[in-house]
Amino acid sequence: MARYVVTGASSGIGREIALQLASAGYDVIAVGRDRERLEDLALRDRRIETFALDLRDRAALIAWASELADDDVTDGLINNAAIQHNVRFDDPGYGIDEIASEVETNLLAPMLLSRLLLPKRVGRPFVIVNVGTALARYPKTTSAVYSATKAGLRMFSDALALRCGASSVRVVDIVLPLVDTPMTSGRGSGKIGASEAATAILAAIEPGKTRIHVGKARLLRLLEVIAPPAAAAIIRRL
């Protein structure tokens, strides 16, 4: 049975992804920062193996992923973990550490994990799913760095998909609308649930498109073509 690595699995979308994968009979390596929540997650299904890791700790990330890569036993990577500070870039409480946290978690970690976990054996099927957002195309004033990291992740997905071409490695970019998670608590309306988002993301592990728009993000895709200013205005209100 296939085995998938899921980052940001302590809560929200990542937790739902891990649970749904396990329920479907897949083995899961669930990665997150909250050890207690991960332990609780592991108790939910024997197919879920957990590993407490702060993706901002580059040395620890590289050591763990390199060891996992040596065994060459993973069939896919779902880069779900993200940090968003919903403040203006010049907010007095938003400093260098916060900027670095967003860049390291949202963009650098997915790049490093993708590189380290690529299968060593030529021809071995592998899928990389990068969880993105409409903010990758239309940024908002209170999430400049988050928007930039998601734009970078989108470009990375496109570049990697181009590089992999017709090989056994597939790369999928997920464009999510606003999802009801701890990260979005207290803002926005009309959110979809984390479970619904996870279901859409898991559809990406099956062969198909390289970019999947979920829920209201499908409407934004249309507006990008016929009325880009309207799409930008919608995102700015989130």
- Annotation says 146 is catalytic: yes
**Nearest 5°: phi and psi at 79?**
-85, 90
Q: Where are the domains of the chain?
A: 3-236
Point out which residues pair with 77 in neighbouring strands.
5, 128
Q: Look at residue 152 in the predicted model and tell me its pLDDT.
A: 97
- Helix 58-71 to helix 109-117 angle (10° resolution) is 20
pLDDT of residue 165: 81
Q: Confirm whether 150 is a catalytic residue.
A: yes
CA–CA dist 145, 99 (Å, integer): 7
Structure tokens of 89? Answer: 């870039």
Per-residue model confidence (pLDDT) at position 230: 52
Locate 205 and state its tokens. Answer: 């592990």
pLDDT of residue 234: 52
Give, as one character, the DSSP assignment of residue 2. -
**Which of 4, 138, 150, 191 is labelled catalytic?**
150
Residue 71 CB neighbour total at 10 angstroms: 7
- Structure confidence at residue 54 (pLDDT): 97
3-state SS class at 55 = coil
Catalytic option among 26, 94, 138, 146: 146
**What does the pLDDT profile of the chain (238 residues) look like in tens digits?**
699 999 999 999 999 999 999 999 999 999 999 999 999 999 999 999 999 999 999 999 999 999 999 888 899 999 999 999 999 999 999 999 999 999 999 999 999 999 999 988 778 899 999 999 988 887 888 999 999 999 999 999 999 999 888 789 999 999 887 777 767 655 655 678 888 889 988 888 877 778 888 866 555 655 555 555 555 555 555 5
Q: In CATH, what is the architecture of 3-236?
A: 3-Layer(aba) Sandwich (3.40)
